[in-house]
Amino acid sequence: MTTAATTRSATVLDINGKRLSPVAIRRGMVVNMAAGALGQSWFALALGMPLIMFMERVGAAGVVIGLMAMVQSLAMVMQIPSALVAERVASRKKFWFWVLIPHRLLWFAPVFLALHFGRDPRVGWFLLAVVTISSMLASAGTASWYSWMMDLIPERVRGRFWSIRQSVVMLANLLSMVIAGWLLDAEWGGKDSSETMVGFALVYLLAATFGCADILLHTTVPEPQRRRVNLTGKVLASLREPFRNRDFLWVTLAFGMWNFSLGFARFGEVYLKRECGAKYSDLSALFISTALGCVVASYVWSRIMDRIGNRTACMLMFVVAPVFALAWWLAPAGDVALAFLPGQPVVPKIIVVLFAGNFFAAAFYSCTGLVQITLCSATTTPENRTLAMALHWTVVGLMGALGPVLGGVVMDLWEQTDFGLLLPFGLPFSYQHVLVLLHMLICWLIALPLLRKVQKGHGELPVSTFMGNPLRVMGVIQNIMLFSGAVSAKERARAVTQAGTLRLSYAVDDLREKLDDPSMLVRQNAVAALGRIGTDAAVQVLLDKLADPDSDLAPAIARALRSSRQPGVVDALLAKMKVGDQETIREIALTLGCLGDRRAADALLETLRSSDNPQLLSSSGEALASLDEETAVFEILARMRSSGNPVLRRSLAVAAGDLLGGRGRFYALLVQEEKEPSGSAFAECLSDLRSFLKKAGTDAAARRRCAECLEQFEDAYANGELRQAGEMLISGGILLASLHLGLTAVTDRDVLLDMLICRDSHLGVGVWLCNMLVIDGGALDVVYILLVLHFFRQWCLRRQGLLRGG
C-alpha cells in the first residue's frame, strides 16, 4: 500500500465527508464522558434504589416488582430490529436521538404519579407501564449508539477510554445516591418522610432532567461515516450466523444464566426496608459503597484484563463474586451507633456489613460488564458485529427476565409463611437468603461450566494463577499494573525485575518487547527476568536476541543462561563466542562452565592459549575447571607463571586447584589463609601430610627427613621466607611420595622424579609445580606454595581414601 493510500485509510471522515481531526475526536470522547455521567445520574435516580423503594412505598406486590425487572430484560429484544434499521438510516445519531428523547421524557410521569396518586397500589402498575415503554425505546437505541461509538473511538485507546469513562460515570452514580438518600429521608412540609411522596417526586424530577440533558449533550459528539456492512442476505440467515461460532453461543448462554441469577438479587432493598428497618439514606450508602468499588475496580481491571485474558478474567468473576453474597447470611442482628459520624447515627448492623462487602463485591461484579462486551466482540466478525451484539443482548435479556419474576414469586410465598428459623448471628431466615443461595448455585453450577467451554485465548493465564497464595496473587496483579502503567524507565525496570522475581511465565511476551526498550537498564533487567523465568519460551527469546548482530545484550544474555539446560543453548553460545567481543566471550566462557557441557572444552582451551586478556584467561580457566578438563591444568599453570597480574594469578591458581584436588577446596584454603596466615586451614593441611607420613613406607630415616622438611617448611612460611619454604615443601613432598611408592633408595633426583611420574601419573602435575617453584623462587608468590601444599595434601587424602578437605 502506498503512503497516500495508508494516510487515506487512517483518516476519519464525518457523516458529511469532512475530515475529523484528532482534536475533534478527543473533544467528542470527552463530551461522551460528560454526557455519560448525566446518563448514569438518570439511571441511578430512575432505575436504581429509588425505583424499588417507590414500589415498596406504594405497596406493590413482589410479583409486580419482579415484573418491573423482567420487562427491562425483555425489552432487549428491540435491539434486533433496531440494529437492522440503524445500519440503513442516513444518520445513526439522529436515529438514536429521536428514539431516546421520548424514552427520557417518559420519566417526568413518575413525578405526576407521586404527587397525584400518593401511596396508591395502582401506581405500581402505572409505573410498570412507564418502565416497559421506556425500556423498549432505550434498547432500540443501543445498537446505533454502540456502532456510532465504535467508529469514533480509536481502537488503540478503547480500553483506556472505557475504563476512564466507567470511573467518571460511577462517580456520578455515587453523587446521585447521596442526593437520593437525602431527598427521600428529608421531612417535607413538616411531615415524616414515610408519610409523603414529595421526596420521590423530586428524585424523579431530577432524574428526568439529567436524562434529557444527557441526550442533548450527546448530539454534540461527532458522527463518523459508518463502515460498510453487507446486509443483502436473508435476515434469518444473518441471525443464525453468529451462533455458528460455538464460543459466541457459550458466551451468550453463560451470561444469560449469570443475568438470570442476578435477577434474584433485586429484592435486597425491599428486605432491608421491611425486615431490618433500614432508612433510605442507609440504602443510598450501600449504593455509594458499590459505586466506590466500581471506580476502584475500573482502574485495576482495565489494566489487567487484556493481560490475563478476558475469558480468565470472566471466570474469575464468576468464581469469586458470588462469595460476597455470603454477607447476607453472616450479618448480625441488631443496631449499632456510628460514633465516628456527626450525630452518631444508629443503623442496622447488617448495613455496616453490607457496606464493606458491597465495595469488594462491586470490584468483581462490575468487571463482568467490561468482559462481556470484549468476549462478544472477540467471538464475532466485524461485518456482522452490530447485529450479533444485539442478538447477544436479546438472548441474555430473555434469559435474565425470568430471574426477577421467580424471585418475586419466592418473596410473596415466603411472606405467607413463617418458618421461625434464625441464622447463626441472630437474623431471621428469610426469602432474601434463599434468593442469594440460588444466585450462588446457578453461577457456580451452570454459568461457570458454560463459560469454561469457550476456547482459551493465546497467552491467557489459567484461573489457578489467581486462586493460590494471596500474596503471590497480589504480586501478579501489581506487576501487571506496573507493566501497563509504567511511563518512566525506573518504573518499567521495577516491573520487569518483579516479573523475574515472581517467575511470571505469562510475562514472556511483554519481556520480549522490553529487550528493545530505549533504556539500557530496562533491557538488561528484562534479560535477567527471562533467565529467572527459565521456561522454554523465555530461553528461546534470549537465544533469538543472542543471534541478533545489532543487539548489545549478548553479555547479559550469557549471564542469564547460566542455569538453562534447554537444547540448543550450548550451540548458540559457542556460535556467538566465535564472533563476540571480549566481554561477550568472557561471560559466555563462565556460562559454558556453569552448564558443564564438555563440548565447550576445545573452544575454552583455544581461548586460554590465544588470548592475552586477563579477564578472558580468568573466565576460561574457571570454566575449564568447572568442566573437570584435567588436560587444561598445564595450560593454566603456564599462563599463571607467565602472568604478572597478581589477581589473574590467584584466579588461575583457583582453577588449577579445582583440577588438582576437588572443586572449591583450594579456594577455601586461599580465602582462609588470606584472613589468617598460617592459621587453622594451613595447619590442617600440614596435619594431613603428617598423618599420611606416619603410615608411608618402612624407611624410618626417610620418614624423619620428611618430617624435618615439613617442620622447616612451616617455620619458613610463618617467617615469610618463601624461597626456603618452597624448597622445603618440594623436598618434603618428593620424600613423601617416594616413601609411599617405596623409592627411597633412589638418590638421583631427576631419576626419582621420572620414576614417580611413571608409578603415578597424577604426580606429573606435582612435579610441574615443583619446577615452577624452583624457577620462580626469586620472585615467589605465596599462591604457588599454597597450591603445591594443596596438591600434596589432596594426593595424600586420595591415597588414604579420606577426602575430607575444605
Does 689 map to a domain? yes
Run of H or E including 348: strand 346-348
Q: Give the DSSP letter string of 208-219.
A: HHHHHHHHHHHT
Does 220 map to a domain? yes
Q: 678 and 650 in one domain?
A: no
Does 554 map to a domain? no
With beta carbons less than 8 A apart as the criterion, state whether 776 and 766 touch: no
- Pick from 631, 633, 539: nearest CA to 591: 539
- Pick from 647, 643, 653, 645: nearest CA to 622: 653
Q: Which three-class secondary structure state does DSSP give residue 14?
A: strand
Q: Of the residues 663, 691, 723, which one is the last residue of a structural domain?
A: 663
Which range (74-78, 559-563, 601-605) has the least confidence?
Answer: 74-78
Q: How many domains does one find in the chain?
A: 5
With beta carbons less than 8 A apart as the criterion, state whether 72 and 398 touch: no
With beta carbons less than 8 A apart as the criterion, state whether 632 and 602 touch: no
Q: Of the residues 516, 548, 580, which one is the last residue of a structural domain?
A: 548
Q: 24 and 137 in one domain?
A: yes
> For 671-693, what is each residue's pLDDT tens digit?
898 888 888 888 998 998 888 88
Mean pLDDT of 71-88: 76
Q: Which three-class secondary structure state does DSSP give residue 404?
A: helix
Mean of the per-residue pLDDT values of the chain: 81
Q: Which pLDDT score, from 0 to 100, does residue 8 have?
A: 36
Beta bridge partners of 188: 191
Mean pLDDT of 601-605: 88
Containing structural domain, residue 644: 567-663
Q: 473 and 453 in one domain?
A: no
Give the CATH number for residue 525: 1.25.10.10
pLDDT at 7 over 50: no
Q: How far apart are CA 443 and CA 311, in angstroms?
A: 15
Q: 431 and 285 in one domain?
A: yes
Q: How far apart are CA 146 and CA 132, in angstroms?
A: 22
Does 246 map to a domain? yes
> For 732-763, what is each residue's pLDDT tens digit?
888 888 888 888 777 777 787 778 777 777 77
pLDDT at 607 over 50: yes
Mean pLDDT of 660-680: 86
With beta carbons less than 8 A apart as the criterion, state whether 515 and 545 touch: yes
Does 669 map to a domain? no
Q: How far apart are CA 620 and CA 804, in angstroms?
A: 28
5-42 as b/e: b if 16+ CB within 10 A = eeeeeeebeebeeeebeeebbeebbebbbbbbbbbbbb
Q: Which pLDDT score, from 0 to 100, does residue 6 have?
A: 32
Q: 135 and 215 in one domain?
A: yes
pLDDT at 145 over 80: yes
Q: Of the residues 225, 256, 280, which one is the last residue of a structural domain?
A: 225
Does 607 map to a domain? yes
- Pick from 106, 104, 100, 179: nearest CA to 142: 100
Q: 85 and 175 in one domain?
A: yes
Q: 203 and 128 in one domain?
A: yes
Cell numbers given for 580: 563476540
Q: 766 and 652 in one domain?
A: no
Q: 701 and 775 in one domain?
A: yes
Q: Which pLDDT score, from 0 to 100, does residue 213 have?
A: 93
pLDDT bracket for residue 445 (50, 70, 90): very high
Q: 701 and 647 in one domain?
A: no
Q: Which pLDDT score, from 0 to 100, does residue 383 have?
A: 63
Q: How far apart are CA 233 and CA 46, in angstroms?
A: 40
Angle between helices 280-308 and 268-275 (to 10 degrees): 150
Mean pLDDT of 767-777: 61
Q: Which pLDDT score, from 0 to 100, does residue 31 have?
A: 92
Q: Which pLDDT score, from 0 to 100, does residue 774 have?
A: 56
Q: How far apart are CA 369 and CA 163, in angstroms?
A: 11
* Most confident region among 3-12, 72-81, 503-512, 727-736 by mean pLDDT: 727-736
Backbone angles phi, psi at 337, to 5 degrees: -90, 130
Q: 167 and 62 in one domain?
A: yes
Give the CATH number for residue 58: 1.20.1250.20
Q: 309 and 269 in one domain?
A: yes
Q: Which pLDDT score, from 0 to 100, does residue 468 have?
A: 61
Q: How far apart are CA 177 and CA 288, in angstroms?
A: 6
> For 501-536, what is each residue's pLDDT tens digit?
877 777 788 888 889 888 899 899 999 989 998 888
With beta carbons less than 8 A apart as the criterion, state whether 765 and 754 touch: no
Does 486 map to a domain? yes
Does 170 map to a domain? yes
